[in-house]
Copies of this chain bind each other. A is one copy, B any other.
Amino acid sequence: MTRIAVCAPSTPITHEDAERVAALAAVEFPGVELHVHPQCFEVEGHFAGSDSRRLDVLVECANDPGFDAVWFARGGYGACRIAEDAIDRFSHVAQNKTWLGYSDAGYLLGAFYRARIGTSVHAPMLADIRRQGGEDAIRRTLGFIGGDTSGLEPSLESHPSVAFNLMTLSMLCGTRLMPGLARHVVMVEEVSEYLYAVDRLFFHLTAHLGGIAGLRLGRVSDVPENDRPFGCDAEAIARHWCERHAIPFLGSADIGHDAANKIVPFG
C-alpha cells in the first residue's frame, strides 16, 4: 500500500475536487491510500490558510513516517512564502518523501531538489481533475506513484532533467531556493501570459541558466490577446534568448497547464 498525503501550500481546492479524485483512486488504484488534509479546503485571502497554517500542514505531512508521498493539491500562488521555513523544520523523515506537483508547487520542488530532500517530481495535481480529460492527468500521477512509467515525458534521456513553470523558475533565480541546474535539461511551460511577458521572462531566466545541458519548451497556452501582435511565437522567443546565452535549444517538451501534462522526475 502506498500512502499519499495531499496538502495545499498555495491555494485551496473544493470538496468536490477531492471526492472525484478519491472515487477514481478507490476504483482504479486500490494500492494507493489517499489522505487529503482538511487544510486543502481552508481559505484565507488568496491562500489555502495563512502562511503559518500552510507551513504547519506541509511540515506535518513531510515529517509523518506513515506517508510515502506528498502530493500538492493545486498551484495558484503561495508556496514561495513557506518553502524556506518548511525546510528548516523538516526532520530526517522528509528525506524519504516523493513530492509531486507543478506550476506554483515548483517553488517547493526546486527548493527540495536544491536541498537534496526526497524526490521532486513535476506531475499533475489533484485540482487537475477539473480540466477536460482531467481524469487522465490524475491517473498519470497516481500511476507513476505506483510504479507505472508510461506517463513520463518522452524526451527524458541520459541528462538529469527538471521541469518548471517559466514564471516560477524565473522567480526562483538567485533566491535561496534555486537549485543548481548545471548539466540539466531544463523544461519550461507557461500559461495565461502575454507573449511580451514570456519574452521578458526568457530575458531574465536565460541569464541565470549558464551551464545547463539545454532547454526544452513545453506548451505556452491561453496567451491573452494583446492590442497588437507580438511579432513572433513562443518558440522563436525561446530560441532567441537561448542563442543569446549559448544555451542549446533542444525542441519541445510534453508539459503544460493541461490534462496532457507529462511527468518529469527531477534529476
Whether B175 and A230, one on each chain, are in contact in the complex, defined by CB atoms closer than 8 angstroms, is no
Q: Which B residues lie within 8 Å of A197 (CB)? A: 77
Whether A80 and B200, one on each chain, are in contact in the complex, defined by CB atoms closer than 8 angstroms, is yes
- A30 CB to closest chain B CB (Å) equals 37
Q: Which B residues lie within 8 Å of A231 (CB)? A: 44-47
For the complex, would chain A's binding face be called helix, strand, loop or mixed by DSSP majority?
loop
Whether A171 and B46, one on each chain, are in contact in the complex, defined by CB atoms closer than 8 angstroms, is no
Chain B residue with minimal CB distance to A51?
Answer: B240
Known contacts A77-B200, A199-B77; is-contact A175 B207 (Cβ 8 Å): yes
Asked if A229 is at the interface of the complex by the 8 Å CB criterion, the answer is: yes
Chain B residue with minimal CB distance to A175?
Answer: B207
Asked if A196 is at the interface of the complex by the 8 Å CB criterion, the answer is: yes
Chain B residue with minimal CB distance to A80?
Answer: B203
Q: Complex Cα distance A3/B200, Å?
A: 32
Asked if A81 is at the interface of the complex by the 8 Å CB criterion, the answer is: yes
Q: Which B residues lie within 8 Å of A78 (CB)? A: 196
Whether A174 and B173, one on each chain, are in contact in the complex, defined by CB atoms closer than 8 angstroms, is yes
- Contact mask A41-80 → B, CB, 8 Å, 1/0? 0011111000000000000000000000000000011101
Asked if A35 is at the interface of the complex by the 8 Å CB criterion, the answer is: no
Q: How large is the interface on A (under 10, 10 to 19, 20 to 34, 35 or more residues)?
A: 20 to 34
- A95 CB to closest chain B CB (Å) equals 26
Asked if A208 is at the interface of the complex by the 8 Å CB criterion, the answer is: yes
- A9 CB to closest chain B CB (Å) equals 14
Q: Which B residues lie within 8 Å of A80 (CB)? A: 200, 203
Q: Complex Cα distance A241/B239, Å?
A: 34
Closest 7 CB pairs of A and B: A45-B231, A175-B207, A77-B196, A174-B174, A171-B204, A46-B230, A80-B203
Q: Which B residues lie within 8 Å of A167 (CB)? A: 200
Q: Which B residues lie within 8 Å of A174 (CB)? A: 173-174, 204, 207-208
Q: Which B residues lie within 8 Å of A226 (CB)? A: 46
Known contacts A174-B174, A175-B203, A207-B175; is-contact A46 B196 (Cβ 8 Å): yes
Between-chain CB contacts (< 8 Å), 18 pairs? A44-B231, A45-B229, A45-B232, A46-B228, A46-B229, A47-B231, A77-B197, A80-B200, A80-B203, A81-B199, A167-B200, A171-B203, A171-B204, A173-B174, A174-B204, A174-B207, A174-B208, A175-B207
Q: Which B residues lie within 8 Å of A175 (CB)? A: 203-204, 207
